[in-house]
Structure formats: structure tokens, C-alpha cells
Structure 1
Amino acid sequence: MAGVLDSVNQRTQLVGQNRLELLLFRLNGRQRFGINVFKVKEVLQCPKLTVLPQRNAMIKGVANIRGKTISIIDISKAMGGRPVEQTENSFVIISEYNRSVQGFLVGSVDRIVNMNWEAILPPPKGTGRSNYMTAVTEIDGELVEILDVEKILDEIAPRNVIVKQELVDEVSHLMTAEQKPILIADDSSVARRQIQKTMETLGLECIVVENGKLALNKLRELAANGPILEQLSMVISDVEMPEMDGYTLTSEIRSNPALKDLHVILHTSLSGVFNKALIEKVGADNFIAKFHPDELASAVKAAL
């Protein structure tokens, strides 16, 4: 897998085309799972792990990788499945989510596939709140699950969602008597709750949808009823979402005369530095890596 990530610059060309590349892997069984290649830093044979006392039960151990100590998460166990007993023949996917680097212990790594976000669909209705999927797709006639990694990480190490009182006070001074709501688009249930809680702490009303396609449909519906800025104050959108990603959503907003003046904040776990250079390409007003409530609140304050 040494050459898996040797063309990041080429992959950034997918931005704005509603496309992504998935790294496919398996855990303990035949079921295949996917993770966005943008999130992956490296794939390697599982190194020797050091077991720490009083560690979280989902963390198999830590490994020294290129001079850094990285926690290795037994992702199967974290999802309620069978834990990995033998690590010698397993692989580790080193990933960066929400400004943190961690390793996911997996049984095997398959390949990378290039796909359109339109082929990535929301989880089937009825899967319940306990599932760990943000989306599903079909590859080679088989169902592939795209994991809600943010949910897994939040259960292992919950993030702070409290906004500094100073920021709350500053935003309250900017609020008008008829403050318009914010449209939030995110496919992760954990992320939606985090963002909504932050906005409600600031005294802002939210309209929440699960992906870019639903967000665009809602925006068009509102615009048909009158000027959009008289109904919404801004849009906060994730980047990775089924059916339509945040980059494409932003491009659609900017190309629509009825929507083009909306303030758009891209709020994403894709914290790689190269993403920041892509804001101008799609026309977003701001780009924030998840999840720091004070930074999000500051961005909202600046927009207001």
C-alpha cells in the first residue's frame, strides 16, 4: 500500500466535481467498509503495539509511527463487533479527523475506487440511532458501508461543545429582533448535534438537513417564497455528504442568482491544510476544521 497516497494534489482536482475516492477495507468478516482517501495519511501492516494501563477498551494499544505516538483503535470492537485478537496479520489505516491523528485497526485493505457522490446514499431508513453508518453505496454488486467515524471517535473521547461565555455575550449584542435562522447540512448525527447545540447556545435558530442535496432543495424552496437573505442568515455545511458534497453545494449556491449572496461556512473533519486552498475554487466564505465550538462561534459572529 506504499503508493496509495502518492497523488494528493491530483485528488484535489475532484473537488467541485461531486466526486470522491474511497479506500475499501474489511474488519473481521466479508462486509466491506469505506473511508474517504482525503482522510487517510498512510496504510501499513500493523506494527508492534504497546498496551497502556487504564486505556479506553476500544484502543488496542499505541504505536510509534514515524516518530509519533499514535493510538490504534479496534474499530470492530468500537462498533460493537468482535474484537481483533491477532494483530500480526492486520493492517492500520492512519487517518486525520477533526485535527487529530489516530490509527484504525482493520482486517484487510482492498483498493481505492473513484466514485460520484450521487452514488453514495444515506443509510436505509430504520437502521436506528445505534448504527455507525453515514452512508452506503454499491460496488461490484456488494453493499459498502461508509462509517460515521466522528460518532466512533466521540464515543471514545467526547468533545467539548461549550462556547465561552464571552463569545456568547458578543454574539448576543449582534442579534437583531428578527434574526434569521441558519441552515446546517451534515451527514453525521454527532456533528449535527454538536453544531446545533453551539448555535442554540448563541441564541440562533437552526434548520438541519442530512446532506447537500437536501440543503439545496431547501434553499430553492425558500428562495421561491421570497428573498433568501430575508429567510436565512447563513449556511454551515459539512464537505463529505451523500448525494451532494459541500463543495458542490457551495458551487450551486454561487451559480444561482437567488442564492449567490448567502454566507457559506464549510465545517469539516477534513483538516488537511491543502483543503484551505480550495475555498476560492468553490466560493465559500470560510473553512473551519471540526470541532472547536469557539472557532465556529467566532466564524458565525464574523458573518453576523
Structure 2
Amino acid sequence: MASILDSVNQRTQMVGQNRLELLLFRLSGQQRFGINVFKVREVLQCPRLTSIPRRNRLVRGVAHIRGQAISIIDLSLATGGPAITDIENRFIIIAEYNRTVQGFLVGGVDRIININWENIMPPPKGAGRDAYLTAVTEIDNKLVEIIDVERILADISPVSTELSDDVKNQPITVAKENLTILITDDSAVARGQIKRALESLEIPLEVKKNGKEALDWLKEKAKEVDGNVQPHVPVLVSDVEMPVMDGYTLTAEIKADPNLADVRVILHTSLSGVFNQAMVKKVGADDFIAKFHPDELATAVKKWLNAENIVAETE
């Protein structure tokens, strides 16, 4: 138990400091890519793969690991590159995204680095693989690209954004006039999923691509209303992993600002693991939801909209 707590304490020291750990890897060439260590369960030399009928072309087969059948996705193919060859001498990264476990076939694994989110930028427009990237950074004077895994998973197995009738019929008990729900996520696919899931609430949605954009918008809103933002922006739905400023740091900044502190923050993330609840508690988020289940997201938003301390101002 002590070792688990020590591990939690060590990891949560980065929370609110806008830092993360990246596992660096290569695909079919020398270009390096990165994945958040929090999403990685383990890295293995690629085992024997079992072919499955009518599989998606991006899935090279299934690996049987510790009693679990795991689909192995060729990340090079998934990002528009050539298929990875000589796979028996390659590696798989076992990771957990959006409540499921996947294996990502990669050409080679480099090392783990600790980096500040401020040094991670949105991908440049016009980059060859920009449609599959959420961010880029520079390590040892070389570009490192961070792949939009949510887009790849959506290409392979699209998720429904439709709400059930039960959730659609859950009432909103506050006046909707002058309200805005703020959304921030660096993945274009995730932003679209969230917007479609919340459109039925019939409340305007303001969408930002990272925590810095969201925080700047909230501060401008506070100037506009000359004080407490919460009667106008009662709920923020935020991703955790974002360039420039992550969701944990965004939450901590919001809760430290008297004009923003009453905004309810729902962290909505593909991250899952034993450390998340400790992190959420540390930064003061109001809710934590693993991606992507539209009913759970809409239910959480309605819950905080209907909370007793939310008083919507009307004209």
C-alpha cells in the first residue's frame, strides 16, 4: 500500500504544474512521436498476431496478452504512412483510451521525457499529417509529433453521439437565457462529439482548443460581466491533455480566481488509471468522466446546471 501511495504522490506532484511525461517512439521512419505515459500500461516486443476476418485495414491482428485479446493497430498506417514491416522485431504499446485497451504497433521505442505543456504547441497548418496530430514539440532540436489517437479510434470504430430518450427528457430547471457552456479539447473529433452530445440542451456552446484559450476567454467574460462568471458560464467541460495548458492546470487556475471559482469544471478525458481521482481532488475539479459516453456527459452537465447554487441571470 505504501508503494502505491508513494507512486500516487510522485505523479500528482506534476498536477497543476502544467507538466506531463511522454513516451517517445518511432513508426516506419526516424520521425519521433509521443504518447502520454499515463495512458500506457506496458511496452512489449510484438508477439505473434492472430488474423481476424473482416478486420479494419488499420488493425494488423489480435494479440493474446495476459488472458486478454487486444487489437493491434498499425499507427503508421493509421496516420497515412506505410505499413510497419518486420513486425516480429517491432514493439507494441499497450494503452487505455476511452475505456478500452488497444495495442499500437510501432517501429521502435525511445525513452520517457518530462516536459512542460507550455512547450507543446498545436500542429502547424499544412503539415503532412496535421489531420492526425493534436500537438508538436521539440526534443533535442528535433520535432516530436503527438498523434490524435481519438481520431484514429473514431476512424476504426465510430462512436454514437446520440442521447437516450431518458437523458433527453431529464429536465433543466434553470432559465437558459444568457447561459453558455464552455468546451475545451484539442482533438477536433472529440470537440465534435461533445458538441453533438450537448446540442439538445439548447444552450449556446463556446468551444476552445486548449486550456489557455479557455482561461483567457473566461477572464474576458469576467471583465464583460464585471465580476462572477458562473451565472453566465455555469459549466466547463474540459479535456485533460492539451497543448499550451492542460486541463488540470486550467482547473487549478479557475478555482484560484474569485471571479471564476464557482464555474463547475467537468474533466472529460480519455485518460484512465489509478491516479486520476487523486489528481482531480488536488486541482478541485467538480466532476470526472471518462470518454466517451454521451448520456453520462449530458447527465453530468444537467446535474451541475440544476445545482442549487446556480442562479441564471435573465434579461
Normalising by structure 2, what TM-score?
A: 0.91
* 1:247 corresponds to: 248
Q: Is the 8 A contact 1:271 1:290 kept in 2?
A: no
Looking at structure 1, the residues matched to 137 and 143 of structure 2 have their Cα atoms a distance apart, in angstroms, of 6
Looking at structure 1, the residues matched to 153 and 28 of structure 2 have their Cα atoms a distance apart, in angstroms, of 20
Q: Is the 8 A contact 1:179 1:233 kept in 2?
A: no
* 2:59 corresponds to: 59
Looking at structure 1, the residues matched to 129 and 210 of structure 2 have their Cα atoms a distance apart, in angstroms, of 17
Is 1:111 aligned with 2:111?
yes
Q: CA deviation at 1:175?
A: 4.8
Q: CA deviation at 1:230?
A: 3.4
Compare 63-72 and 227-236 and name the one that shifted more: 227-236
* 1:133 corresponds to: 133
Q: CA deviation at 1:102?
A: 0.5
Gaps of 5+ in 1: 1-5
Q: Is the 8 A contact 2:8 2:278 kept in 1?
A: no
* 1:39 corresponds to: 39
* 1:176 corresponds to: 175
Q: CA deviation at 1:165?
A: 1.7
Residues 145 and 153 of structure 1: CA distance in aligned 2, closer, same or farther (over 3 Å)? same
Alignment of 1:204-283 (within 5 A): 204-226=203-225, 227-283=228-284
Q: Render the CA deviation track for 1:230-287: whole Å, top value 9, x for unaligned.
A: 3212111000100100000000001111111111100000021320232221010000
Normalising by structure 1, what TM-score?
A: 0.94
Q: CA deviation at 1:204?
A: 2.3
* 1:163 corresponds to: 163
Residues 300 and 177 of structure 1: CA distance in aligned 2, closer, same or farther (over 3 Å)? closer
Q: What secondary structure, in the 3-state scheme, does the structure 2 residue paired with 1:224 have?
A: helix
Q: Render the CA deviation track for 1:86-137: whole Å, top value 9, x for unaligned.
A: 2111000000001100000000000000000000111113448962100000
* 2:310 corresponds to: none
Q: Render the CA deviation track for 1:36-55: whole Å, top value 9, x for unaligned.
A: 00000000100010011111
Residues 266 and 25 of structure 1: CA distance in aligned 2, closer, same or farther (over 3 Å)? same
Looking at structure 1, the residues matched to 33 and 121 of structure 2 have their Cα atoms a distance apart, in angstroms, of 14
Instruction: State the one-letter code of the partner of 1:109.
Output: V
Moved over 6 A (4+): none
Looking at structure 1, the residues matched to 92 and 7 of structure 2 have their Cα atoms a distance apart, in angstroms, of 20
Looking at structure 1, the residues matched to 250 and 304 of structure 2 have their Cα atoms a distance apart, in angstroms, of 19
Looking at structure 2, the residues matched to 28 and 9 of structure 1 have their Cα atoms a distance apart, in angstroms, of 37
Q: CA deviation at 1:295?
A: 0.4
Looking at structure 2, the residues matched to 272 and 204 of structure 1 have their Cα atoms a distance apart, in angstroms, of 32
Looking at structure 1, the residues matched to 275 and 133 of structure 2 have their Cα atoms a distance apart, in angstroms, of 26
Q: What secondary structure, in the 3-state scheme, does the structure 1 residue paired with 2:245 have?
A: coil
* 1:284 corresponds to: 285
Residues 31 and 8 of structure 1: CA distance in aligned 2, closer, same or farther (over 3 Å)? farther
Looking at structure 1, the residues matched to 89 and 129 of structure 2 have their Cα atoms a distance apart, in angstroms, of 33
Residues 177 and 147 of structure 1: CA distance in aligned 2, closer, same or farther (over 3 Å)? closer
* 1:302 corresponds to: 303
Q: What secondary structure, in the 3-state scheme, does the structure 2 residue paired with 1:131 have?
A: helix
Q: What secondary structure, in the 3-state scheme, does the structure 2 residue paired with 1:88 have?
A: helix
* 2:200 corresponds to: 201
Compare 110-119 and 219-228 and name the one that shifted more: 219-228
Q: What secondary structure, in the 3-state scheme, does the structure 2 residue paired with 1:62 have?
A: strand
> How many residues matched?
298
* 1:3 corresponds to: none
Q: CA deviation at 1:85?
A: 2.8
Looking at structure 1, the residues matched to 100 and 112 of structure 2 have their Cα atoms a distance apart, in angstroms, of 23
Q: What secondary structure, in the 3-state scheme, does the structure 2 residue paired with 1:242 have?
A: coil
Is 1:98 aligned with 2:98?
yes
Q: CA deviation at 1:9?
A: 5.5
Gaps of 5+ in 2: 1-5, 306-315
